[in-house]
Structure 1
């Protein structure tokens, strides 16, 4: 437990008046409270600023390694990488239609555990459809509380405003269309998620409005093409921000028809499509298996190898020849699909029976698109809970944009509740604050 966490818990237990479990009753933006307020953790988390800056730099190195894989291993042919990753033909065509190096700049949020000394990478998430983009609303809620604000001043706490970083990213991205003015952004979806996550989208829209960005929620089919521009409710838009994945696009029969006007407008230079589908290659977990293997084979530069050693657990594509080893190491391994989200298809070795583990290995090995990864144990956090405390396991989503470290997205589950931590499994939400390292 770090010194700021100890100080916070001491204030909670012994101060007069005591520091309450703030997360239960934060003064939040109304839209954010409607979307997420019922699921807040009892307190924020604290880490040295250097730890987050270091992991952001290491993650950028890993992502750069991922984007270099076609040149390192496939003679520059991204299609061969996509084939190795098991991407289907349509997804490959879309991802590779963007010339190498010509896609929209990096916009990623890898998920990690913090083990008490450093971060360990669970998966890369890259593309405009990321969750947690309005999480700075929680930091702002805490800083509205006088007692917490005094604590923050005493310990010199800080945070990076992810919304502000997104606003800066969008302004730069849209500059060829807007000439540098604040862009109008169409937040678009193609699926039932637009209804399921409507409150989340509205919270994001409200959050970005406070940072000078006008966002309009729309189904992509409802974008109107007029005079060479795309419009939402009669307003011309400068950026079409997709909140659907490459896989969701490929599963929708009408998606190509709906996207065609967007691509025409982009070709004319009147709109930016964000993010380009090549982010779908970057996000595939199979890339981590290749990077891990390159490290073990001694084929990385010294600085690259050091970054991989710090953040990436041993990872391999699960093939039939690995099954005997994986069967023996059940308590130390997890099986994951190369693509997908929300924990779908994940099998945690230490949480299932031997029979279920063997079945998962056999199915995944035959499929050819799964990876197996070394177990990572995250450090538990003590959280005020009623009259006492409880322990929670957090996942650290670390935003890394083209301009660098861009804040965190924090989810946590009660200790013992399982290793898949997300909205669907009942995770609680919080934020993080950083403090300076000792001089």
Structure 2
């Protein structure tokens, strides 16, 4: 089989030669996305004319990396929750602590997660774990339908085996497995996808509800303010709920306790199985990577897990006034952390420990010394991590429009991990340094190309 680079060049040539993908054709693709729900905050999610490709060999390799990383993260979770004072040591807000203290009724808490990563050649750099409520799953499968029907895909199939990665099925299976472990339900669960009705990802909720319904699991989309607890069961109107797929964020639940009181009480009473549980806030912390990359950490890791961490996770530390070990690439010297941060502006990034959507991130190489010092002051006053800069790969994609010219995009490749197993990717494209949909970025689906797909 030809290399992926060759296939990409051939695909792009087919796009340019295809009269159905001219200006009017691109307008139809954009309108198709809006009509079918592949949109975020009233804008189409994909504005390029090529999906992402991966070979079966790359897929197997990445599955192994994710499996080892998630096993290591599980060990970190066990370590940081050991003892009676673990809630005190995590630095959680009081309102979040109350939510995290609720026992979900099952042991595994990272049911649906996403490892955010950049791929540079054959190397992967994983920069954080999204363990809250990672989005994009239904968008991915819908966009795969759009690309599946394009003429360049038909021509690609003539000389290569091609299949889309399907992600929704992985999500549903993770929900059902967890529901069975929860052990208080019988038969097929009735599912509610719960978030604010004003959420910009509401179209995705309805896509998921349709997919779950087609699989035989009645599903509604509900605002937490519309829930009722009656006779020990949770209801949305006249719809009885057995399983909540929680998309409303823990931080929002903590900030708006009256609006989520019914949902919280249902979880406390175990009137429903809720995925992800509130306790997932333990994993949605960038300080996990500080534990993983600190050679003095007492976390018990296997040699293959340690090797994967050394290869794939950048040096990370919780911002504190301490002495610690520096990056291995510099010989792992003993450093004064705050002084090291001040002097390392060109290769360091400061991130809030538990934020999302690129909020509060400071990229040192884009700041002057004075602004960086102010950012460090802010980081010391809050809960922040410092992380070594990773290569930010760019890739050329043909853009929807009359001339179909190509532009360069920052591209990340973020594996979805369901109950510890990889189940597809979120591949995001951005023109700036933060590949985030909430910051105006887009996405493309991933197809497996090659023998053995």
Mapped partners of 2:348, 2:229: distance in 1: 50
Against the structure 1 CA distance between its residues 93 and 121, is the aligned structure 2 distance closer, same or farther, given a 3 Å change threshold?
same
Q: TM-score, normalization: structure 2?
A: 0.83
User: In structure 2, what is the equivalent of residue 263 of structure 1?
Assistant: 267
Against the structure 1 CA distance between its residues 365 and 287, is the aligned structure 2 distance closer, same or farther, given a 3 Å change threshold?
same
User: In structure 1, what is the equivalent of residue 194 of structure 2?
Assistant: 188
SS for the counterpart of 1:209 is: helix
User: In structure 1, what is the equivalent of residue 150 of structure 2?
Assistant: 145
SS for the counterpart of 1:283 is: coil
SS for the counterpart of 1:194 is: coil
Mapped partners of 2:158, 2:343: distance in 1: 51
Residue 5 of structure 1, CA deviation: 3.6
User: In structure 2, what is the equivalent of residue 62 of structure 1?
Assistant: 69
Against the structure 1 CA distance between its residues 261 and 102, is the aligned structure 2 distance closer, same or farther, given a 3 Å change threshold?
same
Report runs of 4+ in structure 1 exceeding 6 Å deviation: 21-24, 295-299
Mapped partners of 2:252, 2:27: distance in 1: 35
Aligned partners of 2:68 and 2:308 also within 8 Å: yes
SS for the counterpart of 2:219 is: strand
User: In structure 2, what is the equivalent of residue 97 of structure 1?
Assistant: 102
Check if 1:248 corresponds to 2:252: yes
SS for the counterpart of 1:109 is: strand
Aligned partners of 2:136 and 2:204 also within 8 Å: no
Equivalent runs, 1:101-120 vs 2, <5 Å? 102-104=107-109, 106-120=111-125
User: In structure 2, what is the equivalent of residue 281 of structure 1?
Assistant: 282
Mapped partners of 1:404, 1:341: distance in 2: 22
Equivalent runs, 1:311-390 vs 2, <5 Å? 311-320=312-321, 321-367=336-382, 369-385=383-399, 386-390=403-407
Against the structure 1 CA distance between its residues 14 and 235, is the aligned structure 2 distance closer, same or farther, given a 3 Å change threshold?
closer
Residue 227 of structure 1, CA deviation: 4.1
Decide which moves more: 85-94 or 321-330: 85-94
Check if 1:310 corresponds to 2:311: yes
Residue 13 of structure 1, CA deviation: 2.4
SS for the counterpart of 1:158 is: strand
Mapped partners of 1:387, 1:323: distance in 2: 48
Residue 226 of structure 1, CA deviation: 3.3
Aligned partners of 1:71 and 1:77 also within 8 Å: no
User: In structure 2, what is the equivalent of residue 40 of structure 1?
Assistant: 46
User: In structure 1, what is the equivalent of residue 7 of structure 2?
Assistant: 7
Against the structure 1 CA distance between its residues 24 and 56, is the aligned structure 2 distance closer, same or farther, given a 3 Å change threshold?
farther
Mapped partners of 1:208, 1:60: distance in 2: 26
SS for the counterpart of 1:87 is: coil
User: In structure 2, what is the equivalent of residue 225 of structure 1?
Assistant: 229
Aligned partners of 1:294 and 1:300 also within 8 Å: no
Out of 138, 141, 155, the residue aligned to residue 136 of structure 1 is 141
Mapped partners of 2:37, 2:16: distance in 1: 31
Deviation by residue 1:303-362 (Cα, 9 ceiling, x = unmatched): 111111232111111123412111221111110010010111100111122211111112
Mapped partners of 2:437, 2:78: distance in 1: 37
SS for the counterpart of 2:391 is: coil
SS for the counterpart of 1:154 is: coil
Mapped partners of 1:73, 1:200: distance in 2: 34
Q: Which runs of 5+ in 2 are unaligned?
A: 322-335
SS for the counterpart of 1:65 is: helix
Mapped partners of 2:217, 2:43: distance in 1: 23
Mapped partners of 2:78, 2:439: distance in 1: 39
SS for the counterpart of 1:167 is: helix
Check if 1:31 corresponds to 2:36: yes
SS for the counterpart of 1:361 is: helix
Residue 427 of structure 1, CA deviation: 0.5
Q: Which runs of 5+ in 1 are unaligned?
A: none
Mapped partners of 1:99, 1:211: distance in 2: 25
Aligned partners of 2:14 and 2:152 also within 8 Å: no
SS for the counterpart of 1:231 is: strand
